[in-house]
Amino acid sequence: MSFLTPEAIAFAITLPVVVIFYLLKRRRVERLVSSTVLWDRFLNETQASSPFQKLRHNWLLIIQLILLALAVFALTRPYFAGKMEGGRFIVTILDVSASMQATDVSPSRLSQAKAALSKVIDSMFDNDRMVVLLAGAVTEVRQSPTSSKSALRSVLGQVRATDSPTRLLDAIKLAKNLTRNRAKAEVHLFSDGASPDLDEFELQDLNLSYHRVGEGGDNLGIVSLEVRPHPELSGEQSIFTTVANSSTKPIASEVSLFFNERFVGSRSVSVGATNTASLVFVANDRTNGVFRLLLKNEDALAVDNTATALSLARRDTRVLLVTKGNQLLERAFRSVPKLDLAVTANLSDLLPPVDFVVLDDVVPSVWPSGNVFAIHTQSTNWFWPNGSIEGPPIVDWKSNHPLLRYVNFDNIQIVKSLTAKLPTWLTPLVESPSAPLVAAGENDGQRVIWIGFNPLDSTWPLRVSFPIFIANAAAWLKPAPLTSILVGEPFHVRLSNTETPVNIQLPDGSTRETKTTASGELVFGDTEQQGVYIASFGTSTLRFCVNLLDREESRISSREVLQMGEYGMVEASVPVSADKEAWRWFAMLCLGFVLFEWWFYHRRTV
């Protein structure tokens, strides 16, 4: 048996105090006697008023001393440790993702997990050590190896759930590295198991115990939100959203849209079991602001009932085309909506304000410093000319790149193309066996598209993929400003060309101070809260939105089994055998003696 609060034994000093009080206690009992001779017997009892006397046998005193001793013993919180051995190295992984905010158990899943972890802390021996990992969108080592239970309880009390999706893979990999080659290593995972990345991990010899928290329940959540210009109505905006139902029964709710806290409209939606429903709102707000979507549904998870999206006033893309008269290329650019095209035969030193420049088979004396679309030409700052190749066949293209979305190069013939050894920042997108044909990349903030051949020397302009490529290029060279990211992702944007101090206000009102890189790029990673962030630098401000929008996280049914890799499987375990505190039994015995003492006293005095 051991004690959690052995310092409480100091209360044992009250035992002699009870004896002293008992010695000083006056006992006056009325007696009827027939002769004064009998008074001698009862006069002796008056000696109890003297502090120095012989202690007589008295059951009430014994009962009171036993009662007080039991109370003191209960305060020391004795416990039994069972059959567990000391010297263990324990790694605990506490899930702090958004789904742990679910209230299907009272008061929440995280509170239930913290209570279970607290029992494991109580079960530690003096030579045990524990590491505490927090798993959300990223893994955080909250407590390095320690044997201090007070330090572990302090850390546990400060843990709060984030709005991020569940990502347990990195935490489990880190736990495996920490426990490698340790004889008495244990890994305890406290989670609802709602992580989609565990199939990438092979369990092998990891001693993992899965402590399942939560049960499940009905939940309706917003899983997508996007603001786009209306395709037909000028000045109007379309707000697209998708609502997912993760329960096994249909759920109806009202969806409301606000713009800068002004009510725009609402829709009623009914979503079938384990299904989704899409809604489209139309708003005529042309100014900068924030659209906020609210799902008025009281379910077990509240964090996925709201989402925000930033609306920015958009202008047409301004493009300068420098060409010797390529009509097919000019028509392709003019077919791109929201694009203001200027055409010239020569590039002057003084460029008009444009978003990017297209160089069609021309070599300017001074290359533009902004984004460039270079066709059948090259800058010696990128790579040196290296001859040409006749009739290069197309053998591969990266269809997953944004520039080649919906673009196909089947059966396209090319007469000739430049050959080049590309710098590392240029990525080949279309390749022949001996040379890249199309490449793209970014160098110190400048985006570049390079085509090694003249489209007029190929059959490409006759295919529908050519104007699609031009439209993709216009969107890639003038990207929309980054206004929305997912919880846990870093936000990055170029603010200036020099290092600048930045103050960022988080959705909860707290602030963070940071600064841009030497090249003026802001990278901010503390995005574990959902909502609107405001970055202030100099006299300017920048807003961006952070949302959950994760269907797996909205599926709040607690997993009973975790699938690890192709063959591994971990079932939820029963609560671990923690130390069994015995103070409650001593407190109950104490209460029993109190009742017995009351009965015994009144029995004597009746």
Cis bond upstream, residue 467 (ω within 30):
no
Element (H, E) at 190: strand 185-191
Tokens 């993992």 map to which residue? Answer: 208
Least confident of 74-78, 109-113, 370-374, 576-580: 576-580
Residues 6+ positions from 504 with CB-CB distance below 8 Å:
511, 512, 513, 514, 524, 526, 533, 534, 535, 536
pLDDT at residue 162, as a whole number: 94
Average pLDDT over residues 370-385: 84
In which band, very low, low, confident or very high, does the pLDDT at 74 lie, cut at 50, 70 and 90? confident
**Residues near 398 by beta carbon (within 8 Å), at least 6 away in sequence:** 404, 427, 428, 429, 430
Is the pLDDT at 35 greater than 70? The verdict is no
Tally the C-alpha atoms within 13 A of residue 585's C-alpha that lie toward its C-beta.
6
Q: Other CB atoms closer than 10 Å to residue 89's CB: what's the count?
A: 17
Lowest mean pLDDT among 9-18, 31-40, 404-413, 496-505: 31-40
| pLDDT exceeds 60 at position 210 | yes
595, HSE (Cβ side, Cα atoms, 13 Å): 6
**pLDDT band at residue 572 using 50, 70 and 90 as cut-offs:** confident
pLDDT band at 303 (very low <50, low <70, confident <90, very high): very high
Q: Which pLDDT belongs to residue 81? A: 55
Strand order in the sheet with 78-80: 2-3, 78-80, 580-581
Q: Where are the beta strands (DSSP E) in 218-346?
A: 220-229, 237-245, 251-259, 262-271, 276-283, 289-296, 306-311, 317-322, 339-344
Nearest Cα to 380, choosing from 423, 328, 335? 423
Q: What is the pLDDT of residue 108?
A: 94
Give the percent of the chain with pLDDT over 70.
82
The percent of residues above 90 in pLDDT, for the chain, comes to 50
Distance CA 546, CA 487 (A): 6
Q: What is the pTM of this model?
A: 0.70
Res 285 pLDDT > 70: no
Q: Using one digit for the tens of pLDDT, what is the confidence trace for 222-281?
A: 999 998 877 677 677 889 999 999 888 999 999 999 998 899 999 999 999 999 999 999
Q: Going from the N-terminus, what domains does the chain have, and what CATH number goes with each?
A: 2-78+583-605 (no CATH), 89-216+556-578 (3.40.50.410), 317-477 (3.40.50.880), 484-547 (2.60.40.10)
pLDDT at 574 over 60: no
Mean pLDDT computed over 326-337? 92
Q: Tally the residues of the chain.
A: 606
What pLDDT score was predicted for residue 387?
85
Tokens representing 203 are: 């369990």
Among 27-41, 222-236, 320-334, the least confident range: 27-41
Confidence (pLDDT) at 403: 94
Block residue for tokens 């055998």 = 577
Task: Report H helices in 411-529.
Answer: 465-477
* Distance, CA of 188 to CA of 87 (rounded, Å): 16
Q: What is the pLDDT of residue 580?
A: 55
Cβ proximity of 250 and 270 under 8 Å:
yes
- Does the pLDDT of residue 284 top 90, yes or no? no
Residue 460 exposure: Cα atoms within 13 Å on the Cβ side: 26
**Tokens matching residue 281:** 């709102």
pLDDT in tens, 458-494: 999 999 999 999 999 999 998 878 888 999 999 988 8
CA–CA distance, 282 with 209 (Å, rounded to integer): 50
Kindly give the pairing relationship between strand 356-360 and strand 371-375: parallel
CA 397 to chain centre: 35
Whether the predicted pLDDT of 554 surpasses 80: yes
In the chain, % helix, strand, coil (3-state, to 5) comes to 25, 35, 40
Residue 272, both tokens: 């079938």
Per-residue confidence (pLDDT) for residue 48, from 0 to 100: 46
Stretch 562-576: mean pLDDT: 71
Strand, helix or coil at 528? coil
Pairing label, strands 511-515, 531-537: unpaired
Structure tokens at 206: 């990891």
Q: Which two three-digit tokens encode residue 52? A: 């120095």
Residue 324 tokens read as: 């010797």
Token reading at 139? 């893994």
Residue 125 has pLDDT above 70, yes or no: yes
Residue 555 above 70 pLDDT?
yes
Of 308, 334, 306, 305, give the one whose Cα is nearest residue 319.
Answer: 334
pLDDT at 379 over 60: yes
Bigger pLDDT: 196 vs 331: 331
Instruction: List all residues 6 or more positions away from 1 whose beta carbon is below 8 Å from its beta carbon.
Output: 78, 79, 80, 582
From 243, 248, 346, select the one nearest 304 (Cα to Cα): 243
pLDDT above 60 (res 45): no
pLDDT band at 577; cut points 50, 70, 90: very low
Contact 109, 213 (CB under 8 A): yes
Residue 593, pLDDT above cutoff 70: no
> Is the model's pLDDT at 501 over the cut of 80?
yes
Tell me the mean pLDDT in the region 160-164: 94
3-state secondary structure of 580: strand
Average pLDDT over residues 536-540: 89
CB-count exposure of residue 364 (10 Å: 0-12, 13-18, 19+): middle
The per-residue pLDDT for 543 is 93
Q: Residue 191 has which token pair? A: 């989670």
Cβ atoms within 10 Å of 54's Cβ, excluding its own: 6
Residue carrying structure tokens 């270079």: 374
Residues 231, 1: Cα–Cα separation, whole Å: 75
Helices (H), 83-236: 109-122, 149-158, 169-179
What is the spatial distance between Cα 384 and Cα 153, in angstroms, rounded to a whole number?
A: 64
Average pLDDT score, the chain: 84
Q: At 237, is the secondary structure helix, strand, or coil?
A: strand
pLDDT confidence of residue 509 = 94
pLDDT digit string, tens, across residues 57-69: 666 667 777 777 7
Q: Is 331 helix (H, G, I), strand (E, B) or coil?
A: helix
Looking at residue 345, what is its pLDDT? 86
Instruction: Check if the beta carbon of residue 474 is closer than 8 Å to that of residue 317.
Output: yes
